[in-house]
Amino acid sequence: MVQDEQDVSEDEQEQELFEHFKIEVDKGQESVRIDKFLSARIRNSTRSKIQHAADSGSILANGKVVKSNYKIKPGDVLSIVLPHPPREIELIPQDIPINVLYEDAHIIVVNKAPGMVVHPAYGNYSGTLINALIFHFQNLPESKTAISPELSVNRPGLVHRIDKNTSGILIVAKTEQAMVKLSKDFYDRNLDRRYLALVWGNFDVEEGTITGNVGRDLKNRKVMNVFPEGDNGKHAVTHFKVIERFGYVTLVECKLETGRTHQIRVHMRYIGHPIFNDPEYGGDRILKGTTFTKYKQFVENCFALCPRQALHARSLKIKHPFTGKEIAFESELPEDMQKLMDKWRHYSQFNSFEEIEPNK
């Protein structure tokens, strides 16, 4: 597992990344759009920056989230969270081993190890997949992109990413042409991405579809949430299929129709099946099973065996950016998830379960 260069707590990162403003509208203020009002009142801000904050749910009027077209009224109490101007992060080539599944003149397909951060960001300035890629592959095309409202960095070759503690397949562009074509295919969803996830609980169906807007949680910006109604978040669809049942947990395959941040993790929690050992979305607690001490110890041992969310980007099918031919890649489960599956498989074969209600 790659260690962070420096131990930066989440609270320290929040303080470093964001500025908080609270403004009470004067009694004589005329009614204008909130984005116009705030961009004039807050130093070094722009209207587009204010609108971006509104789109991410970071502007409140009288304690309620509002859009950028909200018309302010005298006496309104406005709250806004804005990112500090992003710092330029120097990319340092590092001789870090990476598992390359495929390479040609146009693309690289990598099987990312669990625990490896994909690109540098606050608190992870080195030891990332990008640091390894620029060491092993020269002249990767630049991609200076806003990875979030808070930060913009150079991500040479990257057209998509997966979470630090999610393992599996990533495709990297080696040329500008490949980057443009792959980026468009990801944006248009002209591809097939499938993940394997061990989730809590049993299902009463063999397959299904989860639909619900995904966006930043209104109370905790570090995690995402599902908004089944209203304008918050972005449209998100996840298709799932049961692969293997272990009684209290289930192995499912998830196919992404959209690609939102933490989409599978937050969608699975939304339907009552958090991913096993996912600390951000409630999967790191014993959610199903017996009260027996031996069972509790068994689950704790499973947590120790796979000390991360049990999620793996197993396969990717896409058209080659140069030839146009369909290409497909698949990766085996990493050792920690494979051992976790074996342990649950053995437990389910040699232990009798309580009466298990589907979807419970």
Q: In this structure, what token pair is assigned to residue 10?
A: 């989440």
So what's the pLDDT on residue 87? 57
pLDDT recorded at residue 144: 61
Tell me the HSE value of 19 on the side-chain side, using a 13 A CA sphere.
Answer: 12
pLDDT of residue 1: 26
Mean pLDDT of the chain: 87
Contact predicate 91/80, CB 8 Å: no
Joined together, the tokens standing for residue 214 give 């995904």
Tell me the per-residue pLDDT of 321-337, one tens digit each, with 9 for 90 and over: 999 999 999 999 999 99
Question: Per-residue confidence at 352, pLDDT binned at 50, 70, 90?
Answer: low
- Strand pairing class (311-319; 192-200): antiparallel
| Active site amino acids | 163
CA distance 166 to 59: 31
Q: What is the pLDDT of residues 34-68, one digit of tens each?
A: 999 999 988 778 888 898 888 878 899 998 999 99
Q: Quote the pLDDT of residue 154.
A: 75
Predicted confidence at residue 12, as pLDDT, reads 31
Asked if the model's pLDDT at residue 85 lies above 50, the reply is yes
Note whether 147 and 153 are within 8 A (CB). yes
Q: Is the pTM of this model over 0.85?
A: no
Domains and CATH numbers, the chain: 10-83 (3.10.290.10), 99-188 (3.30.2350.10), 192-350 (3.30.2350.10)
Q: Which of 38-42, 54-58, 134-138, 355-359 is the most confident on average?
A: 134-138
